[in-house]
């Protein structure tokens, strides 16, 4: 699978073995995942691609602990997920995962700083305001902390969402089409932000996209087809969003 050297002492962030997922729609059984095995090490930047119906949303939901697999095992950061209760899953999502969605999914009418604070609130953490402000600063929005989602541009909203994802210092940031609702330039800015987090903080990022342009930013690209992994390749020279941006500026 992965050709990165795996350190035996540090468990992989994601270890999926023969995961299957079957949905029952009326009388019909839909096999969304037919036995996927996958390992992602700390500090990786993985893009998952595939046409619609390939099972990438299902895989995403499984990795994100939003859904339980029908079969197989899934360890997130050394913790076995399958068989956990709803509330235990919620705690795992809170501590180990940060989500970035296509439609930003910020809460309406709440200022940016409190959006970012929300996961800390549910975690019962201390120094919430300071940590939230630090996260907002790291996405370059410290001066927008009092703004509500309606007062922010799409790119800014997505950066607030990224700040919310990274504020708990999760093991994994899971981005589901994070640039799907943004224009090209803003998309590059978001990708630059994610790459920077991956580079400077060794944050593990899993990105789901169907845009090859976006997938090129990842260090590793996984293709899904009909519920199975059809290819798993390392990218020699990931596209650097920062260079793209400075090139576009000049």
Residues that bind another protein (CB under 8 A): 64, 66, 86-87, 90-91, 93-95, 99, 105-110, 118-119, 121-124, 164, 168
Q: State the nearest-atom distance from the C-beta of 55 to another protein, in Å.
A: 20
Instruction: Enumerate helices (H) and strands (E) in the chain, giving the number of each.
Output: 8, 10
Q: State the nearest-atom distance from the C-beta of 100 to another protein, in Å.
A: 10
Whole-angstrom distance, CA of residue 193 vs CA of residue 174: 14
Q: Which is nearer to another protein, 93 or 217 (CB)?
A: 93
Q: State the nearest-atom distance from the C-beta of 64 to another protein, in Å.
A: 8
Whole-angstrom distance, CA of residue 59 vs CA of residue 31: 12
Contacts of 200 (CB under 8 A, 6+ apart): none
Is the Cβ–Cβ distance between 219 and 166 less than 8 Å? no
- C-alpha 195: how far from chain center: 12
Q: State the nearest-atom distance from the C-beta of 235 to another protein, in Å.
A: 29
Q: Which is nearer to another protein, 37 or 105 (CB)?
A: 105
Radius of gyration from C-alpha coordinates of the chain: 18
Q: State the nearest-atom distance from the C-beta of 95 to another protein, in Å.
A: 7
- Taking the CA atoms of residue 112, residue 116, residue 119 and residue 125 in that order, the dihedral angle to the nearest 10 degrees is -120
* Tokens read off for 230: 């059809």
């Amino acid at each position: 699978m992965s050709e990165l050297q795996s350190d035996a002492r540090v468990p992989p962030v994601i270890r999926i073995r023969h995961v299957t997922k079957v949905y029952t729609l009326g009388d019909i059984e839909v096999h969304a995942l037919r036995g996927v095995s996958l390992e992602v090490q700390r500090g990786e930047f993985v893009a998952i691609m595939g046409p619609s119906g390939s099972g990438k949303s299902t895989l995403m939901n499984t990795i994100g602990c939003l859904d339980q697999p029908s079969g197989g095992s899934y360890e997130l950061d050394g913790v076995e997920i399958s068989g956990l209760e709803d509330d235990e899953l919620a705690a795992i999502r809170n501590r180990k995962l940060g989500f970035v969605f296509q439609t930003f999914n910020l809460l309406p009418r709440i200022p940016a700083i409190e959006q970012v604070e929300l996961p800390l609130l549910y975690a019962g953490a201390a120094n919430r305001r300071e940590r939230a402000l630090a996260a907002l600063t790291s996405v370059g929005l410290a001066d927008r902390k009092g703004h509500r989602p309606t007062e922010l541009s799409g790119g800014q909203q997505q950066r607030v969402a990224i700040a919310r994802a990274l504020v708990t210092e999760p093991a994994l940031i899971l981005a589901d089409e994070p640039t799907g609702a943004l224009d090209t330039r803003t998309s590059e800015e978001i990708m630059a932000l994610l790459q920077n987090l991956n580079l400077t903080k060794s944050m593990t990022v899993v990105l789901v996209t169907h845009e090859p342009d976006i997938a090129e930013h990842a260090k590793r690209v996984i293709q899904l087809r009909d519920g199975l992994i059809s290819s798993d390749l390392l990218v020699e020279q990931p596209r650097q969003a920062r260079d793209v941006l400075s090139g576009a500026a000049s």
